[in-house]
Amino acid sequence: MGKLYGIGVGPGDSDLLTIRAVKTLEKLDVLYTPQAKKGGYSTAMNIVSEYLRDDLVIKERHFPMNYRDDEKIEAWDIISNEIESDVKDGLNVGFITLGDPMIYSTYVYILERLIDRIEVKTIPGISSFVNISSSNNFPLAMDMESLAVVSCTDDIGRIVEYMDNFDCLVLMKVYKNFKDIVGLIIDKGLNDKAIMVSNSSMASEVVYEDLASLMELDVVPYFSTILINKKWKIK
Amino acid sequence: MGKLYGIGVGPGDSDLLTIRAVKTLEKLDVLYTPQAKKGGYSTAMNIVSEYLRDDLVIKERHFPMNYRDDEKIEAWDIISNEIESDVKDGLNVGFITLGDPMIYSTYVYILERLIDRIEVKTIPGISSFVNISSSNNFPLAMDMESLAVVSCTDDIGRIVEYMDNFDCLVLMKVYKNFKDIVGLIIDKGLNDKAIMVSNSSMASEVVYEDLASLMELDVVPYFSTILINKKWKIK
């Protein structure tokens, strides 16, 4: 019997892979990689490419981003069965995922199907918001302050509650209602306690130190994240 | 002018260092390391030791764990001035910190003092709760569920509120009032949606799958963390 390795490859730079991820990549027989669109470019694949064996079998698959409907559930079932079969053939199988495998990753749909059927090892990675924090010298949470990681697709009333109750917040997926969110931040006097970063660790990265400037924009990139830290004095 | 590098060294295993952390450690002239007690053992130092240059100057310093009083503020001021002086002498100076430098690390006390005085690069790391999640194949957060990272030193009423409002929780510092916390988890029917891990990634690591078993204990280790995920079906 082989094993399945779920490998977090970090936010974008190859040098944010862990040593364990690199060592694991080097011993794989088969690698399943996400193909966002047919023939599309895989960021995760680009991050790991320098560490792969020449004789590695690469299986590009389309991984649906969620499984709300039957068609998507079927797609995850098929991929899981394929992986199970490879592992039972004695192969070391890898599944790469951007950031950390356990934070908002589709890897969990594989994990929940296979955890009782084959041996699964999961290797943690640097998630995007953790990287944004370090890259910008903007702490996520100090002392023992509570930290909320929230999707802005959540109910706006709840987001207001989180902003009032938590000193430290990570606001993900701000692209849809960014004017509402930024408006809230300004109204609550938190503009000088917040930053927004779009396309973190990509060539197109933009850091917004003054969130008020966002109110003049019509759209912001899909990958945009706001960090708030009420206790951090320096921005 | 040199630079200050704040380096997250991960939870305990050397192979959870990132490539960037290793490359940075290899080019340091001076390394400031925490000395928890006088002559005490430094876990962070142990993690990085194999990657250090033979001619590296190691400056063991006592870093107070918080700075609530004047004595501690003075200690942080002294260490920061020393680092500033080394950097202005043209040296590459490292400061290592367990887990991630931006999540509950004393590194931010150095950062807030020096960020306007010298160049500071912060290198992210795998934090302890991220590692616990992957090691136990227990997802932190799926889809776009909100995640709360909470210290159990917080007001118990607020902890109850967090447990009701969030699908995914990380409960840190459970050692003091672990019976209250575990009691709450059981009362809310969340025992089969939770795990506790003590001394993660150390030789003395213990994983508690059944939190009810904790009610028979008098104490639990200082480094104990509970993960809750209401949407995760398999434990």
**Smallest CA–CA distance from A234 into chain B, residue:** B112
Tokens 């078993």 found at: B213
CA A212 to chain centre: 26
Element (H, E) at A159: helix A156-165
Rounded to the nearest integer, the mean pLDDT of chain A is 92
Rounded to the nearest integer, the mean pLDDT of chain B is 92
Q: Between residues 191 and 230 of chain A, which touch chain B (CB distance below 8 Å)?
A: none
Cross-chain residue pair A148–B143, CB shorter than 8 Å: no
The helix/strand/coil state of A25 is: helix
User: Would you state the pLDDT for residue B235?
Assistant: 67
User: Would you state the pLDDT for residue B47?
Assistant: 92
**Smallest CA–CA distance from A127 into chain B, residue:** B126
Q: Percent of chain A scored above 90 by pLDDT?
A: 76
What's the CA gap between B99 and B123, in Å, rounded? 11
Please report which confidence band the pLDDT of residue A36 belongs to, taking 50, 70 and 90 as the band edges.
low
CB A123 within 8 A of CB A94: no
A40 pLDDT more than 60: no
Q: Nearest CA of chain B to the CA of A153: how many Å?
A: 8
User: Among partner residues A103, A124, A173, which is closest to B141 by beta-carbon distance?
Assistant: A103
Please report which confidence band the pLDDT of residue A38 belongs to, taking 50, 70 and 90 as the band edges.
low
Contacts of A162 in chain B (CB under 8 A): 146
Contacts of B102 in chain A (CB under 8 A): 130, 133-134, 138-141
What's the CA gap between A99 and A7, in Å, rounded? 9
Q: Percent of chain B scored above 90 by pLDDT?
A: 76
Produce one character per residue of B177-201: b if its CB has 16 or more CB atoms within 10 Å, e if not: ebeebbebbeeeebbebbbbbbbbb
A57-63 own/partner pairs: CB under 8 Å, 24+ apart:
A57/A29, A57/A30, A57/A31, A58/A30, A58/A31, A58/A33, A59/A30, A59/A31, A59/A32, A59/A33, A60/A33, A60/A35, A61/A32, A61/A33, A61/A34, A61/A35, A62/A34, A62/A35, A62/A38, A63/A34, A63/A35, A63/A106
Element (H, E) at A185: helix A178-187
- pLDDT tens for B212-231 read 999 999 999 988 999 999 99
Q: Is B10 on the interface with A (CB under 8 A)?
A: yes
Average pLDDT value for residue range A52-62? 92
Lowest mean pLDDT across A216-225, B90-99, B111-120: A216-225
B171 pLDDT more than 70: yes
Q: Residue B48 has which token pair?
A: 């990085």
| Top-confidence residue, B16 or A37 | B16
**SS3 letters for chain B?**
CCEEEEEECECCCHHHCEHHHHHHHHCCCEEEEECCCCCCCCHHHHHHHHHCCCCCEEEEECCCCCCCCHHHHHHHHHHHHHHHHHHHCCCEEEEEECECCCECCCHHHHHHHHCCCCCEEEECCCCHHHHHHHHCCCCCECCCCCEEEEECCCCHHHHHHHHHHCCEEEEECCCCCHHHHHHHHHHCCCHHHEEEEECCCCCCCEEECCHHHHHHCCCCCCCEEEEEECCCCCC
Q: How far apart are the first and last CA of chain A?
A: 52
B168 pLDDT more than 80: yes
Cross-strand pairs, A103: B141
Question: From the candidates B19, B96, B151, B195, which should be mutated to test the interface with A, based on the most A CB atoms within 10 A?
Answer: B19
Q: Is B22 on the interface with A (CB under 8 A)?
A: yes
Please report which confidence band the pLDDT of residue B115 belongs to, taking 50, 70 and 90 as the band edges.
very high
Q: Is B133 on the interface with A (CB under 8 A)?
A: yes
Supply the ipTM of this predicted assembly: 0.94
A65 pLDDT more than 80: no
| pTM assigned to the model | 0.94
- pLDDT tens for A132-173 read 999 999 999 988 899 999 999 888 999 999 999 999 999 998
